[in-house]
Structure 1
Amino acid sequence: MTADPRAIKIGVLVPYTNTNLEPDMMLMRPEGVSLHFERLGDYDVDAIPGADQMARLGASDITETLRLICGVRPRAVLYGCTSATLTHGAGFDRDLSARIRERSGAVSLTAAGSVVAAIRALGATKIGFSSPYVGQINDQAVAFLADERIETVSRADIGRDLGNYGQGELSPDEVFDLAMRVNKPQVQAIVLSCTDMRSVEAVERIEAATGKPVVTSNQAMMFALCRALSLPRPKAAPGRIFDLL
């Protein structure tokens, strides 16, 4: 008897202007899993997504969002915004994950927590950090990782303030160039943070060019999900991190 290809249901919470998390997760979807998305709001679509706005998103009430996604009876719920918890710190990220788990009864994984877990799984302690964020969020991200005993030895951003849609409109070639800017000799892994940046499409090219493993927000969430639920390696998931499953 053939196993049900949609037996395991996964809920994913997505910022409402994000256009790349859903296609990335569908690309990396493991066999036997169906993905179900619910959108998060409470930020100004026309404002530059700075630290205050992202912190507001992270602290927003997601009671109704969770009620809706729990309608599919998910085995796991993924919180798909990295900067929303990077701006609050590692303790807040762990607390949010615990609250989602308590309210949903499902395995709970955040983007930021998954990035940390992937870096640790690779055995890396020194990373290059690239993102499309404004400067203050990058400062907070470096502090977040430092709290988790991960040292950022080089970092790069896109060099201009991007709006909520601008982050998602960066091409994979621009993401590749951004990653190459942090490829210093002491870097053990390259981190591309942001669930709306088209990083997954650039992973294999970056790893081939640098000889170093790459961790992206969306890829890290899928890795953490597969590990948490003992799922098989997704056929289309890129990157050395999936060799560890």
Structure 2
Amino acid sequence: MTADLRALKIGVLVPYTNTNLEPDLMLMRPEGCSLHFERLGDYDIDEIPDSSQMARLGASDLTETLRLISGVRPKAVLYGCTSATLTHGTGFDRDLAAKIKAGSGAISLTAAGSVVAALKALGARKIGFSSPYVGQINDEAVAFLADEGIETVARADIGRNLGNYGQGELTPDEVFDLALRVNQPGVEAIVLSCTDMRSVEAVARIEKETGKPVVTSNQAMIFALCRALGLPRPDGAPGRLFERL
């Protein structure tokens, strides 16, 4: 581990209405890394972030975004929206990661790809899936995971359409309750999908209550980052997932 607290520059691409990805990543920041954020647009702030809106975000042109984040000479770039690639499928997710790598010259990790990597590291093939998404995105998420050999045994959403700020306004207590709804027999791990949901703060409590590992979008990206760079578990990173480093 390097003694220089800013030796490794990590770029993060974050949807422009997302208010929780940055605090979460700062909480879990690996020692020796500095985080540098660039915002993503190309979705309608006044519309429900449904499948079409998130697919539009995923397909948006990143040329200028990557030019700007490349200015910090990042070692890795994280793509911080899970649903933007869940809506397109696994092949799109891998292709987007490759494009980001080519455009930034850095290791590239997507939120959706990191969730899959985290589940495979845990050996979890049957999951409970919880999210604040509208129904169609949840259908697409289940299909995405199935393509990776992961079966969704139970799933839950918040039960109402949330706007672009509504997802980020859910409390950790609401996230806890959402997670417990998928704690059913046969579930080997609980997934909390969405980089703007305050899941990281609830991980330890959920794992204590259910006895099952929890994977969140933001936690999974930090796990994948640490594994890619050979970094130890960050002090602020919660969950049994980090025992796999």
| TM-score of Structure 1 vs Structure 2, range by shorter chain | over 0.9
Tell me the residue number matched to 2:93.
Answer: 93
Deviation of 1:129 after TM superposition, in Å, equals: 0.1
Deviation of 1:203 after TM superposition, in Å, equals: 0.2
Aligned positions, number: 244
Deviation of 1:185 after TM superposition, in Å, equals: 1.2
Tell me the residue number matched to 1:180.
Answer: 180
Q: How many angstroms apart in 1 are the aligned matches of 2:224 and 2:68?
A: 23
Q: How does 1:16-165 map to 2 (within 5 A)?
A: 16-165=16-165
1:208 maps to 2:208: yes
- Secondary structure class of the residue paired with 2:103: helix
- Secondary structure class of the residue paired with 1:12: strand
Deviation of 1:3 after TM superposition, in Å, equals: 1.7
Deviation of 1:103 after TM superposition, in Å, equals: 1.2
Deviation of 1:127 after TM superposition, in Å, equals: 0.2
Q: How many angstroms apart in 1 are the aligned matches of 2:55 and 2:30?
A: 31
Q: How many angstroms apart in 2 are the aligned matches of 1:96 and 1:3?
A: 33
Q: How many angstroms apart in 2 are the aligned matches of 1:126 and 1:82?
A: 19
Amino acid in structure 2 at the alignment position of 1:69: I
Q: Per-residue displacement from partner, 1:169-218 (whole Å, max 9, x unpaired)?
A: 00000000000000001000000000000000000000000000000000
Amino acid in structure 2 at the alignment position of 1:145: L
**Structure 1 unaligned residues grouped into runs of 5+:** none
Superposed structure 1 runs of 4+ greater than 6 Å apart: none
Amino acid in structure 2 at the alignment position of 1:176: F
**Structure 2 unaligned residues grouped into runs of 5+:** none
Tell me the residue number matched to 2:237.
Answer: 237
Amino acid in structure 1 at the alignment position of 2:230: S
Q: How many angstroms apart in 2 are the aligned matches of 1:24 and 1:3?
A: 23
Amino acid in structure 1 at the alignment position of 2:43: Y
Q: How many angstroms apart in 2 are the aligned matches of 1:48 and 1:104?
A: 31
Tell me the residue number matched to 2:168.
Answer: 168
Query: How high is the TM-score relative to the length of structure 2?
Result: 0.99
Q: How many angstroms apart in 1 are the aligned matches of 2:147 and 2:4?
A: 42
Q: How many angstroms apart in 1 are the aligned matches of 2:222 and 2:29?
A: 8
Question: What RMSD in Å do the two structures reach over aligned CA positions?
Answer: 0.6
Amino acid in structure 1 at the alignment position of 2:127: I
Deviation of 1:102 after TM superposition, in Å, equals: 1.1
Q: How many angstroms apart in 2 are the aligned matches of 1:9 and 1:50?
A: 32
Q: How many angstroms apart in 1 are the aligned matches of 2:152 and 2:72?
A: 39
Amino acid in structure 2 at the alignment position of 1:66: L
Q: How many angstroms apart in 1 are the aligned matches of 2:192 and 2:3?
A: 35
Deviation of 1:4 after TM superposition, in Å, equals: 1.1
Q: How many angstroms apart in 2 are the aligned matches of 1:162 and 1:153?
A: 24
Query: How high is the TM-score relative to the length of structure 1?
Result: 0.99
- Secondary structure class of the residue paired with 1:67: helix
